Chain A
């Protein structure tokens, strides 16, 4: 309690002190230093991977911290022997299709759950809810047999259709729509708007943050597909990039790290670009829809 008056007295002294400091160093310089250190540690693995992508194995073992000269040669291995370009195109294609499909289906589901009354809603809702507990990874063996019996084995359909529905996305939009004042839909109905018109003209324009957040999450999710394509896709023609990277791991022969790192770096470019482009929406999509 004795310190209480002192605390009150402080404001009178403080400004002059901080004003003097402000001119010399950046405000709160130690925070900058700490942030620099943390950014460096987090960034180091990728930085090192990029460096190694230009080197040969002997450069690596000699711990050279300067770019090597074998980037063209490594590029040749990655693109012409491992043929990573084809894998990239496949991954890009399915990631875009699944992401768009998921956003559309989730928007529709959110619309149905929030702006309609129908019998058995809790049942339908529960039906979707429970799927949150069913990770595809656990079901892959049975899913493999099912998808093959549909004749979709080794096709893009196998990588796309089972993943179009999303409990996560449906809930995300349900939550988001539920927070929108109901006057909006009442007004729309007075104007004679159909539900689809309401969705397209009013809901979507005010949902870009949520859409952006879902897009980032789903794009990254699909881009990271690994175990499922290992099973269902055979042959290189339609294989995805995460599996394709295996071609760069020397099996029973010496691994050449240069091409492997170059491949890893190249494979990381699309999701990072999507993340950077939608960063603003991604971050505010979270703040907006988070539960109270």
Chain B
């Protein structure tokens, strides 16, 4: 590769960084020169964030246009990662706000070391077992690597760009999204319905609630095992029931358009308890006087439910959408592995299941790592939406 390419890239990055910070922070400020310099430095750092480990390989001549576009994308992401915090820090600095300020929580104990002692185990474990493997996953994703092989090979961003025209991968993404969507929509609607029922003040409500929520304690694997028995094409109880009542048989596990429904039903069954629990808790917070006022105004049961209860439950619904999506992305793995094994015709192969097949079954660590990162980015997107919309709400689960 010609040496001028990295130089050109870094130059543009410096320029963009300087312009960005200057426009957003430093315009007309006394310290504008400092801002420009800081912007240039941060811009370069952002460009180098991915390009240094990759050694600018995406711009080598033997790489095609897709690799180059991907390289530019990586530079842009890297710059966003460095410039956005830089803007925040600079703004506070220039406005003489100390960002080391300590919140004045009343009733605080004295001591600076002690809190770190309390936090140390948590921080160390998170750093070693979450942060480090994340970085390592990035490194792995640039390699051709197999367990037990005497060597590895650096393949630049091939593990990512090869997915661009891979129709099987595209299919996997669609399958993941559709299955997740169905699990969320069907799961939440049914759960809300059941929660409203269970919320009615009837005798034995406690016992009913226990009987409704317990599948929460069942594992995704066991859900897969039990539904495998029930959906079995020969001898399954569900087809027996359908056949004797309606005279139909459904090819639950061997038709690519039906098999995802088997996974969805099993997953919804397993996750409903959790949703019902939250909805019951939410319903307890719906003010009675509001509902009474509405009923005095002549709103019937359905209208009261649609116009008052559902809007008041929307923060919980939103929270549940996110946790159910995470569940659908990751925890359905056990169900799928026992129920359909990803088939037929890959119709139940989710992104997570594919990562397992490629990484473990095919022993192709690099490709699996690359696909992990794509899934990672999707999860980050979801989490950001969650925080944006609902503030620092406590996340239940995992």
Tell me the A residues contacting B by CB distance below 8 Å.
3-4, 7, 26-28, 31-32, 34-35, 38-39, 42-43, 45-46, 48-49, 52, 57, 60-61, 63, 105-106, 108-109, 111-122, 124, 127-129, 131-143, 145-146, 161-162, 164-168, 170-172, 175, 182-186, 189, 195, 198, 217, 220-221, 223-224, 226-227, 230-231, 242, 245, 249, 257, 260-261, 263-264, 267-268, 271-272, 274-276, 279, 282-283, 286-287, 289-291
Contact = CB atoms under 8 A, between A and B. Distances in A.
B123 A224 contact: no
B178 interface: no
A171 B240 CA distance: 48
A122 B106 CA distance: 17
Contacts of B298: 3-4, 7
Contacts of B373: 138
B217 interface: yes
B137 A142 contact: yes
Interface in B287-326: 296, 298, 315-316, 326
Contacts of B379: 133, 135, 138
Interface string B375-398: 110011001000000111111111
A46 B218 contact: yes
Q: Which 4 pairs, one residue from A and one from B, show the smallest C-beta to C-beta distance?
A: A182-B107, A185-B107, A142-B136, A165-B125
B330 A137 contact: yes
B118 interface: yes
Contact of A109 (B119, B132, B214, B218): B119
Nearest to A271: B217
B284 A137 contact: no
Given A49-B229, A117-B104, A286 B277 contact: yes
B218 A230 contact: no
A245 B334 CA distance: 11
The number of chain B residues touching the other chain, given as a range, is 35 or more
Nearest to A6: B298
B191 to A, nearest CB: 11
B31 interface: no
A279 B210 contact: yes
A42 B212 contact: yes
B91 interface: no
B134 A116 contact: no
Q: Report whether over half of chain B's contact residues are helix, strand or loop; otherwise say mixed.
A: helix
A218 B125 CA distance: 17
Given A46-B218, A139-B137, A242-B334, A115 B225 contact: no
Contacts of A105: 121-122, 125
Contacts, number: 301
Interface string B181-212: 00000000000001001101011000011111
Contact of B112 (A119, A161, A184, A257): A119
Contact of A226 (B220, B230, B315, B398): B220
A109 B373 CA distance: 29
Q: Report whether over half of chain A's contact residues are helix, strand or loop; otherwise say mixed.
A: helix
B105 interface: yes
Q: Which of A3, A133, A172 has the most CB of B within 10 A?
A: A133
B107 A115 contact: yes
B267 interface: no
A159 B126 CA distance: 15
B397 A146 contact: no
B323 to A, nearest CB: 11
27 contacts: A4-B298, A28-B202, A34-B197, A45-B226, A60-B235, A112-B116, A117-B102, A119-B102, A132-B395, A135-B326, A139-B130, A141-B137, A141-B368, A142-B132, A142-B137, A142-B140, A146-B132, A170-B122, A172-B394, A186-B107, A227-B334, A249-B338, A264-B226, A272-B214, A275-B216, A289-B394, A291-B394
B4 interface: no
B344 to A, nearest CB: 18
Contacts of A249: 225, 338
B269 interface: yes
Contacts of B214: 272, 275-276
Given A61-B234, A242-B221, A257 B121 contact: no
A118 B373 CA distance: 34
A226 B278 contact: no
Contacts of B202: 26-28, 31-32, 35
B273 to A, nearest CB: 8
B59 interface: no
A245 B197 CA distance: 35
A223 B234 contact: no
Given A49-B229, A162-B129, A226 B221 contact: yes
A116 B216 contact: no
A260 B394 contact: no
Given A134-B134, A257-B229, 16 more contacts: A35-B198, A35-B202, A42-B215, A45-B226, A112-B116, A116-B118, A118-B112, A118-B115, A133-B380, A135-B398, A137-B352, A141-B365, A141-B368, A164-B121, A272-B218, A275-B216
